[in-house]
Amino acid sequence: MTVDPVDAKNHGQISALGQRVLSGGQISRDEALWLFNLELSADILDLLSWANRIREHFKGNKIHLCSIVNAKAGACSENCSFCAQSSFYQTGSPKYGFVDPEPVLEAAEEANRNAVTAVGLVAAWKGLNEGPLLDEVCDRISELKAGGKTRPDASLGIIKKQVVADRLKAAGLECYGHNLESSRRFFPQTCTTHTYDDRLETISYLKKAGIKICSGGIIGMGETREDRRDLAFELRAIGANVVPVNILNPIPGTPFEKNPPLPVMEILKTIACFRLILPRQEIMIAGGRTVNLRDAQSMIFMAGASALMVGNYLTTLNQSVEKDLQMLKDLGLDPSWDNHGFSDQEENGCGCGKESCDTATAPA
């Protein structure tokens, strides 16, 4: 049997980068790509150990739970290659119009019972414009807000006018989900019916309205590690507050249906790299975790994740909320996250709950 030697230089370099981030510094693009390219399991576990320490330093033991309501399903005019709801592909996905108040309020009540911080309205369409539909969307958001317990979020596609973002804010929307999906270079392979700049423009309108940004992407679509690095740095540049990391679950009938799954350690390494690049953001593991990570799901927190999407996804199933809550309990993690203002993402905040704290020490 041949045993690959552990490179002590790698251990030292990983430690130096981890300590820099703990001390409030940042890693460079080249340093990040070096981390993405680590191959030995000993090096990857080293990286995960630092990502875990950084998560604990900035986030304590709090885990931010989100859930979603598929508020309008199927027949979407966009051709996103990963999506079961696109009208371009035959996937057998459900189709229905914008939902009435009752299912949304029921989802909010269930979220309250399970300590879920936010409920997001998600709609399968190109985007949102002025008119009766915007009025209806604002009504649903106002109804969620009036409940006073869960944070009203939404993911409603492209926004082309500031007035639309302002209306959403006035209705009570606190956070808007709008993924960049991948790097600018790789994006045209995921969608051609709108552009990367369309997405950045939407985020700009939302930020001007004072709405927090939930933006991340999907890994496993055929992108390179450099693409993943570039996505993380773009998310840092736009000031995303929540960063969902989705793992492709290939849907039959879509262009990505035959994509091979990413290895579990590659997924965990990617999460850890995102944590070192985005130490103060909520890194949320979302779609595809059950099918791709299987029994290794609990390791996402060691890899630096501080948020979790619970309940079923838009067109695929997740494990039960009860099982997720038991997983958090077993790990000593607390889902009672109530920081709607995201104040722990400020430069002088660490999220540990103390008025002041010393710089964390290196992991043993």
The predicted structure's pLDDT at residue 338 = 65
Q: Which residue has the higher pLDDT, 144 or 231?
A: 231
Residue 113 has pLDDT above 70, yes or no: yes
Looking at the predicted structure, is the pLDDT value of residue 146 above 70?
yes
Torsion on CA atoms 342, 344, 345, 349, rounded to nearest 10: 150
| Weakest-pLDDT range from 16-25, 44-53, 313-322 | 313-322
User: Could you tell me the pLDDT band of residue 17, with boundaries at 50, 70 and 90?
Assistant: very high
Question: In this model, does residue 337 exceed pLDDT 90?
Answer: no
**What's the mean per-residue pLDDT of the chain?**
86
pLDDT at 262 over 70: yes
pLDDT bracket for residue 96 (50, 70, 90): low
User: 62, 90 in Cβ contact below 8 A?
Assistant: no
3-state secondary structure of 64: strand
Residue 156 CA to residue 28 CA, distance in Å, equals 33
Strand residue runs (E) in the chain: 64-72, 118-123, 127-128, 151-155, 158-159, 175-177, 212-214, 217-219, 242-247, 282-285, 307-309
Listed residue (95, 91, 89) closest to 70, CA to CA: 95
Alpha-carbon distance of 199 to 238, in angstroms, equals 11
- Show the 3-state SS of 104-136: HHHHHHHHHHCCCCEEEEEECCCEECCCHHHHH
